[in-house]
Amino acid sequence: MRPTRSLLIPLLGAALGAATALPPAAQAQNFFEELFGIGRAARPPVPPRGVPGGAPPPSAPMPGDPLPADPGAPAAEAPRPAAPPKPVVLKVPGEDAILGQELQLNGLAGKLKLERAGTATTARITLPGTKISQPTESCTVPLADGNPVALTAEGRPEGVPRFEAAAAECPLRFDVTEGGLLVTPLGPTPVCTFSTSDCTTTPRGLWGPAAAGLIPRSAEFDTARGVADKAVRDNYKLMTQRARREDVRPIVTEQAAFSSDREQLCRTYAREGAHGFCHLRFTENRALALATRLGVNTAAAQPAAAATPRPRRKPAVEGMNPDAAPGAGIPVAE
């Protein structure tokens, strides 16, 4: 016991001497901390603080922290800005595909055949109509007494080839579609009246093949319709983005009128609900018209890649238009 006592006495004396300057409670606490080796003597030394304004000492990296860059590595390239969106261009129809084919208004009545002699394009046209004296009876009127009617080429103001017969008894405009012609009267009214023939005609509409040859291609038309609808939406959206604020409202109004005009024009095509030919061609021409207004030269443009086809439509009741709401007749604008 004597060696232990001889070692403790100096420690106790040093602890008591250091604690005399503290309050009684603190003195007792420091005494026991030093006695059992848990006081300041047992603490690790504190490293000196950095010089004010100097850089802080480096800290060890934590898990998940990014690795420091290599000073010798080349600087990373800044991300390139995304390319501005471009108009969607579909395949542009040509008149060569319908030369010599006999087309009918709504695939039902009348006759229209484009012909070419050298560089001149002509048309043989027989317009269907109703008798003035008996509106319940039908009639037909051959323009130019059945002779070819000279057509003038008007370029592609709406993205597709256009011809006009401005000097005919019933002035007409012809916009080429794939497999047909969109015909619009040039007169002040859509009706042409032939008093000597006791016949009145309304030639406006899509002149195309009979329904019997279109129904087997309904799946093809349905897939293409999904591509055409998307092209119209994309080009319409791009047009509104580029337009000035005061020009946006007329564009929106025009787009709403497009859906209504398409329904009005196509609902009388023969068995349109079973094949959708008219809706497809009208939509394709609309997409090309928008692309032209966005600055695309459709004569030199390459068509866009086909989009993913939409699901097949359910078969519709013959004579009904599947895109029209029951009893409505005018769809909501797309």
CA dihedral angle for residue 49, residue 51, residue 54, residue 57, rounded to 10 degrees: -20
List of residues 6+ apart from 294 with CB closer than 8 A: 87, 235, 238, 239, 242
Asked whether residue 78 carries a pLDDT value surpassing 70, the answer given is no
Token pair, residue 59, equals 């800290």
Token pair, residue 197, equals 């023939």
Query: Residue 334 — very low, low, confident or very high, per pLDDT cuts 50/70/90?
Result: very low
Asked whether residue 68 carries a pLDDT value surpassing 70, the answer given is no
Average pLDDT over residues 127-154: 96
Identify which has the larger pLDDT, 117 or 11. Answer: 117
What are the residue ranges spanned by the domains of the chain?
95-208, 214-334
pLDDT tens, position by position, 199-212: 999 999 999 999 99
Measured between alpha carbons, how far is 31 from 288 in angstroms, rounded to an integer?
96
Going by the DSSP 8-state scheme, the letter that residue 204 receives in this structure is -
Tell me if 197 sits within 8 A of 190, measured CB to CB.
Answer: no
CA atoms within 13 A on the CB side of 17: 6
Mean pLDDT, the chain, whole residue set: 82
In the three-class reduction of DSSP (H, G, I as helix; E, B as strand; rest coil), residue 230 is classed as helix
pLDDT tens, position by position, 251-305: 999 999 999 999 999 999 999 999 999 999 999 999 999 999 999 998 887 665 4
- DSSP result, 43-59: SPPPPPPPPTTSPPPP-
